[in-house]
Amino acid sequence: MCAALVGSAVSKQGFRVELAPTDEQRVLLGQHAGLSRLVENFALERVKAALDQREAEKTYGVAEGGLTPVPWSAPALESAWRAAHPVRFPWFTEAGLSSRVPKEACRVRAAGFRTFFDSRSGKRKGPKVGFPSWRKRKHGGRFRYDADRAKPVDTRTVRLPGVGSIATREDMTWLVSRLAESEARVLGATVKERAGRWWISFQIEVDRAELDQRRAAPPDAPACGVDLGLTTFATVVDSDGTVTEIRAPKLLKAALRKLRRANKALARSRRGSANRAKRRAEVARVHLRVAHRRTDFLHKTTTRLARTKSAVAVETLNIVGMAGNRRLARAISDAGWGEFTRQLDYKARWYGSRVWKADRWFPSSKTCSTPGCGQRHGGLTLAERTWTCTGCGTVHHRDRNAATNLLAAMLADAA
């Protein structure tokens, strides 16, 4: 394992490739995914049992210091697993499965408990997170390796403990060359199955200095304001006056006919039959295709903005609240606004740009963008795509007006 990287350009990122396992390797991958699921459920069982025991002890008058301890931490859960598996799960040793998978499953479960408590105490921002629940097979197969236990062997092969060397469907020259030159190191790896296909995602620490400098936004690149929408995914107004409209691909909408057909076939198949398993796999393939196309669109859009703009002004949207509108919920979820903002954030850091986020209540759409006016159209509805300012008489295109106001607010804030 290489030493920890140091430097201002060192960052953490993911590197995902699809695996091409043989039939025997598919069985082993499935066994490790099942092992991870079992250990996570074992850990949850132990915590629930300890909590129930504590409640019973309180009724007996046991003092707080004498109550049964709850194994919240990863080391405590690992210790419980090591003590229990020779008796309860003797097949684990006999099957020759990797011992690193249970270790990481305990860490994942412990992280879930920590997230729950941080959310309840207010340390974690965002929607409240519930108490961890049981993992089920229908939730999908996944398991993790710590450090560089799983790592590339060459540009087309990865080695997984307990599974062996597996070919990949994609070239890994970018990662392998950096590992060889000590410009990157593997922090961990997650193996995941979706729609019958397997991927491995390496969590890496990499020195991006040379790469980021080569792909950085030009010094004279314009700043821009970006208004997100449904029909037009993004309306981009540059500081030099250029207006660009990026059309929304509406990928889920395009696949709805095929998805309905697949879901009907699934509903009509007999439970437990081989045919039902095929129909379920077809539904999963449709969803996976939509997800991949959406991810591809978002990556290309955010990369283009981060590498061609010096600064990007965006809105802070209450996406969860907006999705409460039953007429727009599907379209909002299909758009991927949250993922767009997330990708733009880290890519701007890579390429020397910056992202400015307006306050959630900033009236970008209903404020006149004409210099010196600033009149607000308080009664603006979602159906109004254009409106006329009562102060200066300017006719505004809703999205362009919003993007212009976001840009102006960012420039004023930086002045």
| Enzyme catalytic residues | 227, 315, 399
Inter-residue contact 364 to 406 (CB < 8 Å): yes
Closest CA to 247 of 289, 297, 316, 319: 297
Closest CA to 315 of 235, 206, 397, 208: 235
* Rounded distance between C-alpha atoms, residue 37 and residue 271, angstroms: 23
What's the chain look like in SS3?
A: CCCCCCCCCEEEEEEEEEECCCHHHHHHHHHHHHHHHHHHHHHHHHHHHHHHHHHHHHHCCCCHHHCCCCCCCHHHHHHHHHHHHHHHCCHHHHHCCCCHHHHHHHHHHHHHHHHHHHHHHCCCCCCCCCCCCCCCHHHCCEEEEECCCCEEEECCEEEECCCEEEEECCCCHHHHHHHHCCCEEEEEEEEEEECCEEEEEEEEEEECHHHHHHCCCCCCCCEEEEEECCCEEEEEEECCCCEEEEECCCHHHHHHHHHHHHHHHHHHCCCCCHHHHHHHHHHHHHHHHHHHHHHHHHHHHHHHHHHHCCEEEECCCCHHHHCCCCCCHHHHHHHCHHHHHHHHHHHHHHCCCCEEECCCCCCCCCECCCCCCCCECCCCCCCCCEEECCCCCCEEEHHHHHHHHHHHHHHHHHC
* Rounded distance between C-alpha atoms, residue 151 and residue 73, angstroms: 27
